[in-house]
A and B are shown apart, each in its own frame.
Chain A
Amino acid sequence: MRTMTTRREFLTKGLTIVAAGATAPMFLTRTALALNNPWDLGLTASAAGRPDWPTLVVVQLGGGNDGLNTVVPFVHDEYYRARPKLAVPHEKVLRLSDEVGLHPALTALKSAYDDGRVALVQGVGYPNPNRSHFRSMEIWQTADPAGTGPKSGWLGRLFDSECPDCGSSAGMTLSAEMPLAMQGTSPRVIAVDDIARFGFHPVQGGGAAEVEAFRRLIQPVPGEEPLVDFLSHTEMNALLAAADLNKVAGRLAQDAGAGYPKDPFAQKLRIVAGLIAAGSPTRVYYVGLGGFDTHVTQAGRHDRLLESLGAGLGAFLGDLKTKGLQDKVLLMTFSEFGRRVGENASGGTDHGTAAPMMLVGGQVKPGVHGVHPSLTDLDQGDLKYQIDFRSVYSTVLEQWLGVPSAPILGGKFDPLDVIKPHVAAAVGG
């Protein structure tokens, strides 16, 4: 871990903030407050090729995305034999290599791939896979397959251990419910699904005086009962974040949609891009897309979900490029598991194991990484994983966010070679 900010770095950062002032002044106060936070060193623009604001966007595909119909192993007959109804026909696969290609609903993602902004990691999973949604989602979110550690999220631990003086919005989830992945010991993450309305609204006629009274009333006081103390802090943090979010909402209302599809997933990514462009101090955004539990009549449903995913990611990347931010943002997708190799009799697929993950952004090493799991050497009808998901997490932590991963992941997991070398070296070094 890095040491406290030196005076020289303080000055450098001060200059950076002033220089950025024309485009992103609104978070200046809290950015300045956060200066003696080691994690905040990512702000310095001195290291060559290093993003000024390394931001991570985590996309959770809830329900268990069918990896085999996302990154399709079209060269293998076993795939077609196992899925007489659901297999993607050869001629429809958007080919990425001689072995695999994308589902035809992912055309926007294919364009981004051709543009060098997508890295696909094949066969990601963990030992002794659990086929329960809840347990497996918990494993991915806690990064603790054995279930022996504290019940906190891997991103929550990131905020706790590497960001002790972060403001209240180091992490943000674009949903009403806080995912376990973001939960740590202190409330420095916020959950919001409507950034325009977010805030404390007084009763009719109460006005600013009531808001001010509320602010004074909820001041946390030492010695409160633990639950009341937790609630006081959460209310304080919420009040702090509200003002910033409302301003960004105002800006977004003035741009005309920026080419995003209208569905909620794409609109959440649009908000994320808007917040990043406004200089939000948030480092990790969490966005969900659900409905992947396709036990029954998978064909149309899965197509629509992938269409939503691909179109949303495509619009997000386009927006980041327009804003000059594509090199400052890394997006990672995951799902709690893939699905069984063989389709079931209901035109669907049951819970499986390993599946691909996507890393998307201007600084990824593009391509298909790793080897596709065997379609014949199966474990109870399921794929055997090739890469532990914690290696993907350690890559993101060390080579993108620039923090040691072992304390967060409870052990050493070798990073993968999926981030551009000069970025990985600058951030990790």
Chain B
Amino acid sequence: MPGAFDPFVPSPADPWDARKAAHLLRRAGFGPLPEEVDRAVAAGLDRTVDALFAFPPDPPAPAVFDDVRGAEQQLDSTLEALRAAKQRIDLKTHPELRALYQEVGRQHGRAIVTLATWWLDRMATSPAPLQEKLVLFWHGHFTSAFGDVHDAVAMFNQNQLYRRSAAGNFARLLDGVARDPAMLRYLNNDANRKGHPNENWARELMELFTMGIGHYTETDVKESARAWTGWTLRDYRTAEDRRVFAFKLMIHDDGPKMFLGQAGPWDGTDVMRIILGQEATPRWIAGKLAAFFVGPAPDAGLVAAMAQQLRAANYELTPALKTMLRSRAFYRPDVMLAQVKGPVEFAVGAVRHLGINAPDWVRVYQAAGAMGQRLFFPPTVAGWHGGTSWINAGTIFARTDLAAGLISGRLGPVDDAAFPTLDAAVTRLLARPLPPHRRVTLAQATGGQPSREAVHLVMSLPEYMVA
């Protein structure tokens, strides 16, 4: 009897077909198109999964960061001149600083929107959508919010870290996150000093990022916070200083600690090593990945197999992810189309389905925010809850509104040729037949024509909200 984690093997009774291929591409990307589904059916499951992991090299930063740096350099050189002249830096005595500070803030505010739209465009157009789906996963896992970090460049650097390690090694990714300036600022570890510990990062590291609640004590949190003292930013003088990690021995507490039952003069590296050695950690990571890709209550056997594989492969993520995407558990009938599309997934998928190239991404970004998911602004350090919590009477209209806006062509020209008939529209948008009562009602209401109203109605159906 094969396990839930064993590979799905197609048979004449249960073939590798468009239904399953569309399921794989939906979960591993954003709104697959009929021709992509056809290609996946032809290539077969194994080759399709392998191809999903061919990630391109790092993309360059959006150009808008030049403006940010320009404004920062103006402010920083003014501050430097004041310091050199031994002047007090104070908005009362130097009101001219106010405008410089405001300009820096304005540029970062612009840049974070540009960054979000740049990322949305990558989701829609990248040859490796799984990479961007994983970046979205890590953004919701190792959360940082622009509202607390106030630095679009640092948020971009963090985003690139997630892209570079999207399906790489979790231990390396964790190490990068622990030294990531956006994270240091978001969870205040930059203010964590010997004798004056700040527990914020130390707590979330275990509770949300690696182990989950119930596997450590309050004492472990306090001892871990001591170990993380001195993991901070290079300096606070210039904007660049605030974007460089530094370990400062002077403010590090090198005394003995007792952490998760192990005694020693631990620092952050030791804490990570001890955490990665806990049984809870691979289980937690596997569980979170499976909840994101498979569903809110993923098969326990699958999660256990993924956790085992993570441990055996020294936390390499790709083998466990491939196991998941090939597994029998992934293609169970009660798993397919049983997840609510997240807002970003819905929005990017809608843009792709309507064949809109380079739409007004700012409007799409705002619309996803109204649906409950504003990139770079996760609501709490726990990220987005997902699942049915995406859906309520308010967010559902945000979805139908975005669909209406996109279909109207106001956000970019729609490829009308993609909807030659009503049946073609349903296939393209839902990748499944409509239940009979909805098919009849839709045909009556639209006269059987693939009008803009008809496309909007299909994109407003419960069936279009699920993945």
User: B-contacting residues of A (Cβ < 8 Å)?
Assistant: 131-135, 168, 176-178, 183, 187, 189-193, 198-206, 209-210, 213-214, 216-219, 221, 224-225, 227-232, 234-235, 237-238, 241-242, 295-296, 344-346, 350-351, 380
Question: Closest CB-CB distance, B442 to chain A, in whole Å?
Answer: 6
Please indicate the chain B residues that have their CB under 8 angstroms from the CB of A190 in the complex.
392-394
Q: Hey, what's the 0/1 contact readout for B229-255 against A, CB within 8 Å counting as 1? A: 000000000000000000000000000
Whether the pair A134, B397 counts as a contact (CB closer than 8 A) is no
Whether the pair A176, B370 counts as a contact (CB closer than 8 A) is yes
For the complex of A and B, 8 pairs with smallest distance between CB atoms: A345-B196, A231-B462, A238-B393, A213-B445, A190-B393, A191-B392, A346-B191, A191-B394
Please indicate the chain A residues that have their CB under 8 angstroms from the CB of B466 in the complex.
227-228, 231
Count of chain A to chain B residue pairs whose CB atoms are closer than 8 Å in the complex: 164
Question: Closest CB-CB distance, A396 to chain B, in whole Å?
Answer: 23
Bound state CA distance, A231 and B408, in angstroms? 25
Whether the pair A380, B218 counts as a contact (CB closer than 8 A) is yes
The answer, yes or no, to whether B270 is at the interface (CB within 8 Å) is: no
Whether the pair B393, A295 counts as a contact (CB closer than 8 A) is no
Q: Which of B413-467 contact A (CB under 8 A)?
A: 435, 437-438, 441-442, 445-446, 452-453, 456-457, 460-463, 465-466
Whether the pair B389, A218 counts as a contact (CB closer than 8 A) is no
> Can you report 16 A-B residue pairs in the complex whose CB atoms are below 8 A from each other?
A134-B382, A187-B392, A202-B456, A210-B453, A210-B457, A214-B400, A214-B460, A218-B462, A221-B437, A231-B465, A234-B391, A235-B462, A295-B200, A346-B196, A346-B198, A350-B199
Closest B residue, CB atoms, query A380: B218
Q: Which of B208-246 contact A (CB under 8 A)?
A: 208, 213, 218
Bound state CA distance, A178 and B379, in angstroms? 12
Bound state CA distance, A344 and B435, in angstroms? 60
Whether the pair B394, A228 counts as a contact (CB closer than 8 A) is no
Whether the pair B372, A177 counts as a contact (CB closer than 8 A) is yes
Question: Closest CB-CB distance, A116 to chain B, in whole Å?
Answer: 36
With A203-B404, A345-B195, A346-B198 given, is the CB distance from A132 to B213 under 8 Å?
yes
The answer, yes or no, to whether B188 is at the interface (CB within 8 Å) is: yes
Question: Closest CB-CB distance, B466 to chain A, in whole Å?
Answer: 6
The answer, yes or no, to whether B380 is at the interface (CB within 8 Å) is: yes
The answer, yes or no, to whether B388 is at the interface (CB within 8 Å) is: yes
The answer, yes or no, to whether B177 is at the interface (CB within 8 Å) is: no
Q: Considering only CB atoms and an 8 Å cut-off, how many residues of chain B contact the other chain?
A: 57
With A217-B445, A237-B393, A345-B196 given, is the CB distance from A204 to B457 under 8 Å?
no
Bound state CA distance, A203 and B456, in angstroms? 7
Q: Given known contacts A199-B397, A235-B396, A346-B198, what 17 new A-B pairs fall within 8 Å (CB)?
A: A131-B203, A131-B218, A187-B392, A189-B392, A192-B393, A200-B460, A203-B456, A209-B453, A210-B445, A213-B446, A218-B461, A230-B391, A232-B462, A238-B392, A238-B393, A345-B198, A346-B191
Task: Indicate the member of B393, B408, B441, B465 with the most A CB atoms within 10 Å.
Answer: B393
Closest B residue, CB atoms, query A179: B389
Whether the pair B391, A217 counts as a contact (CB closer than 8 A) is no
Whether the pair B453, A234 counts as a contact (CB closer than 8 A) is no
Whether the pair A177, B446 counts as a contact (CB closer than 8 A) is no
Q: Hey, what's the 0/1 contact readout for B244-284 against A, CB within 8 Å counting as 1? A: 00000000000000000000000000000000000000000
The answer, yes or no, to whether B207 is at the interface (CB within 8 Å) is: yes
Of the candidates A134, A218, A227, A237, which one forms a contact with B207 in the assembled complex, judged by CB atoms under 8 Å apart? Answer: A134
Whether the pair B338, A225 counts as a contact (CB closer than 8 A) is yes
Please indicate the chain B residues that have their CB under 8 angstroms from the CB of A235 in the complex.
396, 460, 462
Closest B residue, CB atoms, query A230: B388
The answer, yes or no, to whether B381 is at the interface (CB within 8 Å) is: yes
Q: Which of B369-402 contact A (CB under 8 A)?
A: 370-372, 379-382, 388-389, 391-398, 400-401
Please indicate the chain B residues that have their CB under 8 angstroms from the CB of A199 in the complex.
397
With A213-B446, A224-B435, A346-B198 given, is the CB distance from A205 to B457 under 8 Å?
no
Question: Closest CB-CB distance, A48 to chain B, in whole Å?
Answer: 37
Of the candidates A176, A193, A225, which one forms a contact with B337 in the assembled complex, judged by CB atoms under 8 Å apart? Answer: A225
Question: Closest CB-CB distance, B272 to chain A, in whole Å?
Answer: 20
Please indicate the chain B residues that have their CB under 8 angstroms from the CB of A213 in the complex.
441-442, 445-446, 453, 457
Please indicate the chain B residues that have their CB under 8 angstroms from the CB of A228 in the complex.
462-463, 466
Closest A residue, CB atoms, query B203: A132
Bound state CA distance, A234 and B390, in angstroms? 12
Please indicate the chain A residues that have their CB under 8 angstroms from the CB of B4 in the complex.
none
With A134-B380, A134-B382, A204-B408 given, is the CB distance from A176 to B395 under 8 Å?
yes
Closest B residue, CB atoms, query A183: B389
Whether the pair B442, A346 counts as a contact (CB closer than 8 A) is no
Please indicate the chain A residues that have their CB under 8 angstroms from the CB of B393 in the complex.
168, 187, 190-192, 198, 234, 237-238, 241
Please indicate the chain B residues that have their CB under 8 angstroms from the CB of A178 in the complex.
389, 392
The answer, yes or no, to whether B407 is at the interface (CB within 8 Å) is: yes
Please indicate the chain B residues that have their CB under 8 angstroms from the CB of A131 in the complex.
203, 218
Of the candidates B338, B339, B453, which one forms a contact with A206 in the assembled complex, judged by CB atoms under 8 Å apart? Answer: B453
Closest A residue, CB atoms, query B374: A176
Bound state CA distance, A230 and B466, in angstroms? 11
Bound state CA distance, A146 and B371, in angstroms? 32
Question: Closest CB-CB distance, A295 to chain B, in whole Å?
Answer: 5
Please indicate the chain B residues that have their CB under 8 angstroms from the CB of A206 in the complex.
404, 452-453, 456
The answer, yes or no, to whether B45 is at the interface (CB within 8 Å) is: no
Question: Closest CB-CB distance, A100 to chain B, in whole Å?
Answer: 28
The answer, yes or no, to whether B340 is at the interface (CB within 8 Å) is: yes
